[in-house]
Amino acid sequence: MKPLTLDKAVELNHLLQDHIPAIGGEQDALQFIGKIVDNIKLSNRHNDYIDAVVLMSGQDWEELKFLDSSEILRLFIDGLSINRIVTLKSFCDLMGLNNG
């Protein structure tokens, strides 16, 4: 998996901005990503999870749907890590992209 280009990273932020928890406290990366997944579940916007995996992996859902759910989760975790999701959200917040 490769880091996203700026246009796609901005789309990723748009998909996940409402699900990313506030940064702080002593939580490790896995807990942080787990919280994002929990927030997606709670919001009932499950498509955001799928769309984010499709965007980050560069694969179609038609290819991904045959994967095991844990493999999809692995792609999600790797994608967020490679794309420095916290830095991405901070940048988009700073630039006023998340004010809407």
Partner 1 sequence: MRNSSTVVLGGKEYEVTRAKLKRWLQLEDVREQIARAADREDRPGFVAQIYSYLSVALSVEDDFSQLPWFEIVEAYQQILSVNIPNLDLPLLRATSTGEKVPWDYEGRGWYSWANIFSKAFGWTLEYVAELDLDDAIALLQEIKADDQVEREWEWMLTEVSYDRKGKHKELPRPHWMRGIIIPDNTKTKIKKSMLPVGNVVRWNETPDA
Distance of closest approach, residue 2 Cβ to partner 1, in angstroms:
8
Residues 83, 12: contact at Cβ < 8 Å? yes
Looking at the chain, how many residues does it have? 100
Q: Report yes or no: 18 and 43 within 8 Å, Cβ to Cβ.
A: yes
**Nearer Cβ to partner 1, position 25 or 100?**
100
Total residues contacting partner 1 (rule CB under 8 A)? Answer: 21
Cα–Cα distance measured from residue 81 to residue 20, given in angstroms and rounded to the nearest whole number? 13
Rg (C-alpha) for the chain, rounded Å, is: 13
What angle (nearest 5°) sits at the alpha carbon of residue 86, between those of residues 84 and 92?
A: 100
Of the candidates 1, 7, 17, 33, which one interacts with partner 1 according to CB under 8 A? 7
Site for partner 1 in 24-83 (CB under 8 A): 83
Which stretch, 9-17, 44-52, 58-66, 72-80, contacts partner 1 (CB under 8 A)?
9-17
Binding site for partner 1 (CB under 8 A): 2-11, 14, 83-84, 87-88, 91, 95-97, 99-100
